[in-house]
A and B are shown apart, each in its own frame.
Chain A
């Protein structure tokens, strides 16, 4: 009997153990460290955080799952600068070989750079739409703030779509009302971009307390660019005039202050992507351009991409009056050290040059910020492949290492040098363009001279000791502009000099309808220097836009059929 009691006791004890160990909620677990949308979207704090996350995509990086930072880079150093002929891919042939077909005009739809761009920006758009939904429904916020935040969001949505539009052209416009994003890409989305921008112009203040937030001026400028694409010159002029009239913006006294981390968010910045370092990650510090530094012993030490082209360098040649050689700039090369070792003797070009050259291009024998003189091939990864030049606009000063660059990470190329998507000089040049087309040639000349006046400031020259590092000359257009063609040529040329390697060039060429003509001439000369450009071609209209990523088409299937259509010719 005793053992039966023991047995009878054992069973209930086990039963109790079972019940205690497994409560009702045992199979109801929730993820740690994150929150659901209800919690976020119903508070001002949450809605703002959703908007911040959308801002975070302005740099073109939203996580490795969406592609590399350089693939989606907001600076468009690949899609704008390399494809536009301002620069070569650079580095060595085997590194990032996916850029080569972009540069050569034979890209296919599987290229990961296309994918990266597409994913990053649509991710940004998705984030914006979440923020718009949250702010729209939010009650615990003042109407004034709500207006501004919604206007910011719509600007961001417009900007993301605009960049996709100018790269891929036939893209879907995704707004917060869609439940299924598979809407096809056969409708022109420019009107929707403009509607967002108009709403942004209406809702945004001229200045914001937080300098990283977008402003009315940015919205007006971007809206104006979309008008220029449509050749709606007076509409564009109206917006740009308003930006000028706001008095909010001015040119920096020194050209290079635009590319110095210490002088970011100056009055010349109309739309700047905020870059930060030593904030717990390296991903916020000029991530998209982190490969674009000299090589070996040079600043940041990696990875030698985005090497300026000889064509660009030649464009900085000037005549005795310091004016650009609009038609003959490429007849002779600016002297370079291609084929020379660092130990070989070399004297830099002695002819007159626009002073902006050495703030745009790192070249042998010229001081490279405070890093000493560019030593030539020692800072070049593979000279025979990528040429003798180095990029410089995204580079930090040696004296800024550790403070305005990251203190950790695999390269010190992560720096706080803000990316300027729109500078005030850009505004003035766009306005000059509109004026030329509207017959305001003299206004255009004044605007161009305003740009050149600043460039000509000797205080802003690259100095070698007490003397200018090269034979710098920058004169004003003194003669009246009477011929629209000449004026147009001068304005466009000025745009190249002022905004060289900043990612605008290709889109400008397409906007002006001259991409095929300019690039054909470019390839004819450059392929002799860079043999990998042999066989490269630009055929309009096919090459004016890039193929829709194959993956995007594949993933857009509805009932087994893709809803996105590939661009013609791809």
Chain B
């Protein structure tokens, strides 16, 4: 039977044959050449080269090279490749035609991965931002969030310079007072509740889609309320195999070093503090000479300062008892005062290297494909002894077992270590210590041991000592395996069944060791200590989908039904103790601690979700589009309201395909789209919010009822107050957008959205008289975000050798808390600090407003004080901050505090400029965030009378001008007030890059298909009025505290890891 039917392939061949015959009639010429990507300069394998007006077509090889027969010297080649503009090139008598393709502006033909399947980009009716991963990966970084900053309209991103640290990613504003972390879906595997996806190698990423509205995200239902970032990793391509090597080396330097008091100024300040207080200056440290005070030559721990020649500073008296189990009594530590001044910032923050090597191999045939990569990333922080390393490998394979059956897997294995991370930027952090340790303290004492800051001021640390010890801790080791196996069965041409089982396994040992901090100001007698911990997070996701895809004439129908089960399980333990007899590295095992000091802990928990979903989309002749999704999720976190239903719908209209538009040549493509839908959020800050339970606790519930003095009896305290009626938090999103291509070269996208979050979950504080049990998860409020996202692109080939591309993204957002009922109150206070809660979240205002007194200069005179503060002067004094008596009651008290500004930016932008000239490529990338205020809490330490510390040079020079008169008794001026609140707007040149690709001819001799060198400068310029080290402040620390409460105190600068300026040299090699 078969033989009698016409074979389509033969028919095709026949056509080619006839075409060949036809062309034979003319002069036959062979033309060779290479197709490269204008953006990377790399060869494009699989690109189509067609002789225009004929059926003569070839595909480029692995290195982008091709050879084709043309009918004559004036033939024209049509060169096309997915993601690039199709280009016509005249042969013009040449035998070699090299073609550099320009990246397609709209890339409307591209297929993008959205939900459980993929979709043609042109038919998208929701809000899906497709990230240009080629542009993205140009910015050398460990974390994709760092690379994505400013690239996607509507997405605010920020990372700290702390190597390996998590990222702050907020899609379309702050959607809730609860957890705002987006959902990451990596090759179909949702990675739950994660703010750090460092385990991914950015170079492995094929595509990133950001799903911003309900229509596109509701297929992910639960947890999709904060947006979804869909990441697809690279697969091998049929017909090509290649090996790539990418390497770079970066040299980072601190972008800014603050100016602090010199030793002389420090002495001046100490005297002024006493003077301001009206008491005679006295010091154990400085030396009185007649009526003057001078700096000591030497300082003896505990005894104070001495001049040279004093018997007390005889080096023979120096004694340090290094007994690791405690003691320290009898130590006699002598240091030589550093009168020139130690710059602690320079001691702690210094140039550092960043290294990356990555190798990948990929290929494929009609039987399957493979992609393999290996990566070693070594990032030293600009902070002393601080580093992050990643050893990572990925294997993605696909086997086409039958023409109806495909099986495959994606596997990523990453081993990561982090050392001496700065951690929470609290007052004990190296940064705050670098500010605080007086410059008179040297790093080392006369015997070469760490110098003690004891006697110089308050509880400060020798930061170099701290960081040296932190290096011995392998604080963050983790071994993470992420991957999935899947099978796809074509039940019919139009019906595909896909099943996937994915795991995300993360585990790691942690060891902390503290050698005795003999130089510490407080706790210098503490013994050494050891802690060991181990954790394992074991998550799996199983899903099965049935996908129907069929065209009926002009009607295209795509439908999907699916089922998903997901488990998140975690467990771990920690144990430790102190007083190990020796400090030797190899002696550090738990059995070697003093048994009396031994402790242990373990924990475990799980969270399960069960979901079903259906989705349908309809496309009429690429003119009208409609789609609808319903997903039902059940979560084990809820008791009486387990299930949430999340529906959405969207429509689109491609106006440019309407007849009446045919004459408008200026508009090449125009699509209107609108969507509405509901998304869910069940991140409540715990997995068991429904249960009221009791637990024991050594320190909080147990009691030594028998009076032994060294043991306790177990007690049980209520540890949680459950709310069995807790239900899903939901977000309704309305999205209206326009996509257009005008005048061929301009791409425009504008979207308006409204996100309404209802039933926001918060751990509400109940009446205090209930005791510690008084926090309960409740659905308490609603919030609205409205905004506009837009992107503009201009892409032009100016000459044959020169093309130019501009991409501008911008977004605005307006956030309003509509309702809050936190235990009958309409506000939540947060951001606790030495000066109380800094931020207020209140119905009617945006989230996380700064709160405090309004500062208006200084109290000028007693008459000034008396005039305003008729009722009660309080601690007001001439020269101290003058606060506004807002309620005019003649005194300054809490009733005079008010809202001082919002940390929510009004506009976020990104500007990407790329150009190619011959073998050179050029990139410049700017990002900017505008309109946000920041609360510069670091100033509490550097600009006010807080503790006996070193301070900013301004503290002395601005005293009595913009700052209060120096006064050791002044705790009045440092209260939370508008002085701390600053404009945080900034524009930053994040990336400047120049690359050069070697000529193909030369490379071929060495068997290479691509060799490119580039230099890159990161964070070269920042334009800002902000006085702190880095205005890129979002949450004070992205890993601090419960994720569910972070956004209640954003914009507070507690001392960020300083920004690094980075110069990078890199090589891309391919063969």
Contacts and interface: CB of A to CB of B under 8 A. Distances in A.
A555 B326 contact: no
A125 to B, nearest CB: 7
A55 B711 CA distance: 15
B771 A297 contact: no
Interface string A273-311: 011111111111001000000001100111100000000
Given A122-B769, A123-B771, A280-B599, A274 B707 contact: yes
Contact of A210 (B282, B705, B715): B705
B458 interface: yes
Given A125-B771, A555-B765, A29 B607 contact: yes
Contacts of B834: 97
Interface stretch (B129-137, B271-279, B354-362, B1028-1036): B271-279
A53 B716 contact: yes
Nearest to B642: A27
A13 B50 CA distance: 46
Contact of A410 (B522, B693, B875): B522
Interface string A119-141: 10011111100100000000000
Contacts of A342: 284, 303-304
A396 to B, nearest CB: 11
A110 B527 contact: no
Contacts of B765: 551, 555
B565 A378 contact: no
Contact of B715 (A33, A55, A402, A556): A55
A181 B767 contact: yes
Given A53-B716, A408-B579, A410-B523, A26 B565 contact: yes
A260 B823 CA distance: 46
A401 interface: yes
Contact of A92 (B458, B499, B596, B893): B458
Contacts of A118: 768
B693 A31 contact: yes
B384 to A, nearest CB: 23
Interface string A353-397: 000000000000000000000000110011111000000000000
Contacts of A29: 606-608, 636, 687-688
B458 A94 contact: yes
B282 to A, nearest CB: 5
In this complex, the member of B523, B766, B946 whose beta carbon has the largest number of chain A beta carbons within 10 angstroms is B523
Contacts of A421: none
Interface string B715-755: 11111100000000000000000000000000000000000
B702 A30 contact: no
B26 interface: no
Contacts of B529: 408
Interface string A26-48: 11111111111100100000100
B698 A264 contact: no
B524 interface: yes
A26 B608 contact: yes
Interface stretch (A60-68, A191-199, A323-331, A504-512): A60-68
Nearest to B772: A123
Contacts of A261: 709
A353 B312 CA distance: 34
Contact of B768 (A33, A418, A555): A555
B1027 to A, nearest CB: 22
B699 A282 contact: yes
Contacts of B524: 301
B824 interface: yes
A212 B704 contact: yes
Contact of A63 (B455, B697, B713, B874): B697
Contact of A62 (B404, B706, B769, B772): B772
A40 B719 CA distance: 13
A374 to B, nearest CB: 13
A260 to B, nearest CB: 12
Contacts of B522: 301-303, 410-411
A52 B274 CA distance: 50
A409 B525 CA distance: 10
Interface in A202-246: 210-213
A521 interface: no
Nearest to B608: A26
In this complex, the member of A118, A296, A552 whose beta carbon has the largest number of chain B beta carbons within 10 angstroms is A296
Interface stretch (A15-23, A449-457, A474-482): A15-23
A10 interface: yes
B866 to A, nearest CB: 14
Given A27-B634, A384-B274, A53 B717 contact: yes
A254 B696 CA distance: 39
B499 A281 contact: no
In this complex, the member of B577, B634, B768, B969 whose beta carbon has the largest number of chain A beta carbons within 10 angstroms is B768
B487 interface: yes
Contacts of B489: 7, 10-11
Contacts of A409: 526
Nearest to A211: B707
Contacts of B701: 49, 52-53, 56
Contacts of A181: 767, 769-770
Contact of B563 (A6, A18, A123, A125): A18
A231 B773 CA distance: 37
Given A94-B458, A411-B522, A555-B823, A213 B705 contact: yes
A65 B280 CA distance: 41
Given A14-B497, A92-B458, A377-B284, A100 B971 contact: yes
A270 to B, nearest CB: 14
Contacts of B497: 10-11, 14
A283 B704 CA distance: 12
A384 B948 CA distance: 12
B454 A284 contact: no
A489 interface: no
B704 A274 contact: yes
Given A32-B604, A61-B700, A95-B458, A407 B594 contact: yes
Nearest to B491: A7
A416 interface: yes
B812 interface: no
B404 to A, nearest CB: 6
Contact of A22 (B610, B693, B705): B610
Given A301-B525, A411-B526, A549-B768, A93 B824 contact: no
A212 B715 contact: no
A531 interface: yes
Contact of B544 (A18, A65, A92, A124): A18
Interface in B581-611: 594, 596-599, 602-608, 610
B712 A26 contact: no
Interface stretch (A80-88, A437-445, A492-500, A557-565): A557-565
Contacts of A53: 701-703, 715-717
Contact of A40 (B279, B704, B709, B716): B716
B991 interface: no
B302 interface: yes
Nearest to B278: A531
In this complex, the member of A276, A300, A404 whose beta carbon has the largest number of chain B beta carbons within 10 angstroms is A276
B981 to A, nearest CB: 20
B947 interface: yes
Contacts of A407: 326, 527, 578-579, 594, 596-597
B565 A65 contact: no
A409 B282 CA distance: 33
B373 interface: no
Nearest to B279: A531
Ranked nearest first, the 4 interchain pairs of A and B with the lowest CB-CB distance are A283-B699, A123-B771, A126-B771, A53-B715
8 contacts: A6-B405, A55-B705, A95-B947, A118-B768, A279-B710, A284-B712, A407-B596, A408-B526
Given A31-B720, A54-B715, 15 more contacts: A3-B404, A31-B687, A33-B604, A94-B947, A112-B836, A122-B768, A130-B718, A264-B707, A279-B712, A283-B700, A296-B301, A378-B304, A408-B578, A555-B765, A556-B769
